[in-house]
Amino acid sequence: MKSVIILILFFVGTFTACSVLTLTPANFAWPIESVLKVNDEGEVNDERYSFSFDAKGIYHEEFQDSLAYLDRELRIIRDVQGYYFMTGIKFKNVYVFLAFEGTMVLDNKILISEFGFDNPVFNQREPHIELIGGDKILKLTHQGIEGNSK
């Protein structure tokens, strides 16, 4: 009987020590978009959120040009789940990234227009990210465009 109690205490202690602390609910959203100038080295930096990364890859993916980032801006917003949405002037796509171990990992590439938006603007409209381009309004999630978009 004594060995059974010791065994039970061992398993309870082992499984309790292995549980992961989870803090819920958590909201990772940025209230408004950040419009970040790409510097000459291809990097963007947002001091408000202590956020920076090398943006050359996203411009090469979008325009197939290794110098397309020069004199450009990226528009970035983060949703409640922690996904980063990125686009820019004349981008045909919105790129959705997740931060993982010091890198930005592409989660989804959402086609928004065959011609790109002249002046795209992101808004936080929980549970969506709204993308406004002229008279077109798209409701985005990390999975793509939701219905009811204009």
Displacement of CA 119 from its chain's centroid (Å): 20
The reported pLDDT for the residue numbered 62 is 97
Q: What angle do CA 55, 56, 62 make, to 5 degrees?
A: 95
The answer to the question of residue 9 being in a domain is no
* Residues 89-109, mean pLDDT to the nearest whole number: 96
Show Cβ contacts of residue 129 under 8 Å, excluding neighbours closer than 6 positions: 77, 79, 85, 122, 123, 139, 140, 141
The answer to the question of residue 87 being in a domain is yes
Q: What is the number of domains present in the chain?
A: 1
The answer to the question of residue 150 being in a domain is no
Dist CA 46 CA 91 (whole Å): 21
Dist CA 142 CA 30 (whole Å): 15
Rg (alpha carbons) of the chain, rounded to whole number: 21
Query: Which residue range forms the structural domain that includes residue 69?
Result: 30-145
The answer to the question of residue 120 being in a domain is yes
Dist CA 31 CA 114 (whole Å): 28
Q: Do the Cβ atoms of 149 and 143 come closer than 8 Å?
A: no
pTM above threshold 0.85: no
**Could you report the per-residue pLDDT of 53-85, keeping only the tens digit for each?**
999 999 999 999 989 999 999 999 999 999 999
